[in-house]
A and B are shown apart, each in its own frame.
Chain A
Amino acid sequence: MSAPPTRTVLAALLRKDLRVELRSFESVPAMALFSVTTFVLFHFGLRQDSLSGDLASGVLWVTLLFASVLGINRLFVADAEQGGFDGFLLSPADRSALLLAKALALLAYLVVLELVAVPAFALLLLKPSIGPALPGLLVVLALADIGVAVIGTLVGALAVRTRARDLLGPLLSLPMLVPVVLGAARATEPLFATHAGALPLRWLAILALYDLVFALIAFALFDFLLED
């Protein structure tokens, strides 16, 4: 039995994960709800009606980060608990397909998360209108999401077969995601300022580079995490 083309495997795996998520609603609703609740918390905690500039930027990205961590934790759990890993390993399919499929699934969850979280943020907490900021924000969101997806998949695979996976997932991923939060927050600061500024290209470049480096590393190392 020859190895099926990676594209087919990738599509199949991705479809499986998305279908499971649609049926069980494990990750995404929790992530979205968490982000909205966190915005409310920030309102009470900071005692501010509306935010702008670096404070707004920081609140948005930290909230998105913590919501993402919820998704990272659940990413591999179903596979680990129901023997999905072994089934996949026995097949002649290319292993990197699993990595890519998981990362894309996480990316999809993040996009849905942001579809809820960003409007909520604009409604609840953001002072300046979000209209002019939107194009730049979308770019930053894309880059940041890729970073979270790559690191999340790597850390998820690392943590899933340990005994304390719910603790280790966040502990491992949060320090590695700080540069993503840093870059994204710095990039959106001028966008959320009361007198909107331009999107700083430097931070976009840094985010992109970070994503690229860790995507390569994840690709190189993923095999070692899957074998048993």
Chain B
Amino acid sequence: MAQLPLHTAGPYVAAAYIVFVALILLYVAIMAGKLSRIERELGELTELAQRTRSPGDGQDAL
């Protein structure tokens, strides 16, 4: 089993893999923003639909 030598190359390798992970996570974060916007708009639409269907009721199923 190869040891993990801690000489000068270590930080570079670590940096490279960290950059890779960071890019993925950044991308996920941006997509998360889009996802929450979709959720919010869906909520608004559901409300709108309920209002159109039963204008008398003040209930909401959310």
Instruction: Decide if A and B touch, CB cutoff 8 A.
Output: no
A residues near B (Cβ < 8 Å) are none
